Amino acid sequence: GSASLGLKKLRIGMIPADGVGREVLPAAQRILEALGSRIPKPEFTHLDAGFEYFTRHGEALPQETVAAMQNDVDCALFGAVGSPTRKVTGYSSPIVALRKKLNLYANVRPVHSINGIDPRHVDMIIVRENTECLYIKQETLTTTEENGKEARATRLITERASKQIGRMAFRIALARARPEQPAGLTIVHKSNVLSTTDGLFRESVRAVMQENPDWSDASKIVVGEQIVDSMVYRMFREPEAFDVVVAPNLYGDILSDAAAALVGSLGLVPSINAGDTFVMGEPVHGTAPDIAGLGIVNPVAAIRSAALMLDHLGYTEPAKQIEEAVVDVLKEGVRTKDLGGSATTEEVVAAIEKRL
Amino acid sequence: GSASLGLKKLRIGMIPADGVGREVLPAAQRILEALGSRIPKPEFTHLDAGFEYFTRHGEALPQETVAAMQNDVDCALFGAVGSPTRKVTGYSSPIVALRKKLNLYANVRPVHSINGIDPRHVDMIIVRENTECLYIKQETLTTTEENGKEARATRLITERASKQIGRMAFRIALARARPEQPAGLTIVHKSNVLSTTDGLFRESVRAVMQENPDWSDASKIVVGEQIVDSMVYRMFREPEAFDVVVAPNLYGDILSDAAAALVGSLGLVPSINAGDTFVMGEPVHGTAPDIAGLGIVNPVAAIRSAALMLDHLGYTEPAKQIEEAVVDVLKEGVRTKDLGGSATTEEVVAAIEKRL
Ligand SMILES: CC(C)[C@H](C(=O)O)[C@@H](O)C(=O)O
Ligand SMILES: CC(C)[C@H](C(=O)O)[C@@H](O)C(=O)O
DSSP one-letter string for B143-155:
EETTTEEEEEEEE
Provide the sign of the torsion angle of the four alpha carbons B49, B54, B60, B64, taken in this order: negative
From B154, B225, B257, residue closest to A229, measured CB to CB: B257
pLDDT at A90: 87
Residue type, A3: A
pLDDT at B3: 52
B272 Cβ contact partners less than 8 Å away, ≥ 6 residues apart: B106, B107, B108, B279, B280, B281, B282, B305, B308, B309, B312
Residues B276 and B241 in one domain: no
Report the 10 Å Cβ neighbour count for B332: 10
DSSP category for residue B68: H
pTM: 0.96
Residues B301 and B219 in one domain: no
Residues A123 and A257 in one domain: yes
Residue minimizing CA distance to atom 12 of ligand 2? B284
Q: Could you give the CA distance from residue A68 to residue A71 in angstroms, rounded to a whole number?
A: 5
What is the percent of chain B where pLDDT is above 70? 99
Report the 10 Å Cβ neighbour count for A47: 24
What is the percent of chain A where pLDDT is above 70? 99
Torsion from C-alpha of A319, A324, A329, A335, nearest 10 degrees: 60
Check whether B4 has a pLDDT greater than 70. Answer: no
The pLDDT mean for chain A works out to 96
Judged by DSSP in three states, A84 sits in coil
pLDDT at A298: 98
Domain of A339: which CATH number?
Answer: 3.40.718.10
pLDDT at A1: 42
Residue B140 or A86, more confident:
B140
The separation between CA B281 and the C-alpha centre of its own chain, rounded to angstroms, equals 7
pLDDT at B6: 74
pLDDT at B329: 97
Residues A84 and A130 in one domain: no
Residue B328 or B5, more confident:
B328
The arithmetic mean of pLDDT across residues B81-107, rounded, is 91
A59 in a domain, yes or no?
yes
- The model's confidence at residue A5, banded by pLDDT at 50, 70 and 90, is low
* Of A262, A294, A325, the domain-final residue: A262
Residues B234 and B178 in one domain: yes
pLDDT at A335: 97
Q: Could you give the CA distance from residue A300 to residue A334 in angstroms, rounded to a whole number?
A: 11
B114 in a domain, yes or no?
no
Q: Could you give the CA distance from residue A12 to residue B291 in angstroms, rounded to a whole number?
A: 54
Residue minimizing CA distance to atom 12 of ligand 1? A284
Range of the domain at B160: 119-262
Tell me the residue ranges of DSSP E strands in A50-200: 75-80, 106-112, 123-129, 139-144, 148-158, 183-189
A163-196 residue pLDDT tens? 999 999 999 999 999 999 999 999 999 999 999 9
Judged by DSSP in three states, A340 sits in coil
Q: Could you give the CA distance from residue A249 to residue A208 in angstroms, rounded to a whole number?
A: 19
The separation between CA A170 and the C-alpha centre of its own chain, rounded to angstroms, equals 17
* Of A262, A278, A294, the domain-final residue: A262
B111 in a domain, yes or no?
no
Residue B5 or A188, more confident:
A188
Residues A154 and A205 in one domain: yes
B195-228 residue pLDDT tens? 999 999 999 999 999 999 999 999 999 999 999 9
A201-257 residue pLDDT tens? 999 999 999 999 999 999 999 999 999 999 999 999 999 999 999 999 999 999 999
Cβ contact, residue pair B93, A193, below 8 Å: yes
Cβ contact, residue pair A232, B160, below 8 Å: no
A326-351 residue pLDDT tens? 999 999 999 999 999 999 999 999 99
Residues A201 and A279 in one domain: no
pLDDT at A3: 52
DSSP category for residue A211: G
Helix axes A21-34, A345-354, angle to 10 degrees: 10
A-chain CB neighbours of B229 within 8 Å are 253-254, 256-257
Question: Closest ligand 1 atom, CA of A282?
Answer: 12
Check whether B5 has a pLDDT greater than 70. Answer: no
Which bound ligand lies closest to the C-alpha atom of A193?
Answer: 2
Q: Sheet holding A279-281: strands in order across?
A: A41-46, A9-17, A75-80, A279-281, A272-274, A106-112, A123-129, A244-247, A183-189, A221-227
Judged by DSSP in three states, B20 sits in coil
B218 in a domain, yes or no?
yes
Q: How many CA atoms lie within 13 A of B12 on its CB side?
A: 28
Q: How many CB pairs under 8 A join A and B?
A: 178
- The model's confidence at residue A122, banded by pLDDT at 50, 70 and 90, is very high
pLDDT at B1: 42
Q: What are the pocket residues of ligand 1 if the criterion is a CB atom closer than 6 Å to any ligand atom?
A: A 81, 93, 95-96, 253, 284; B 192-193, 229
- Cβ–Cβ < 8 Å for B149, A159: yes
* Of A262, A290, A318, the domain-final residue: A262
- Cβ–Cβ < 8 Å for B351, B322: no
Residues B229 and B297 in one domain: no
B151 in a domain, yes or no?
yes
A7-64 residue pLDDT tens? 889 999 999 999 999 999 999 999 999 999 999 999 999 999 999 999 999 999 999 9
A295 in a domain, yes or no?
yes
B-chain CB neighbours of A232 within 8 Å are 232, 254, 257-258, 261
A255-309 residue pLDDT tens? 999 999 999 899 999 999 999 999 999 999 999 999 999 999 999 999 999 999 9
pLDDT at A118: 85
pLDDT at A263: 94
A108 in a domain, yes or no?
no
- Cβ–Cβ < 8 Å for B75, B68: no
Residues A9 and A69 in one domain: yes
From A135, A151, A250, residue closest to B157, measured CB to CB: A151
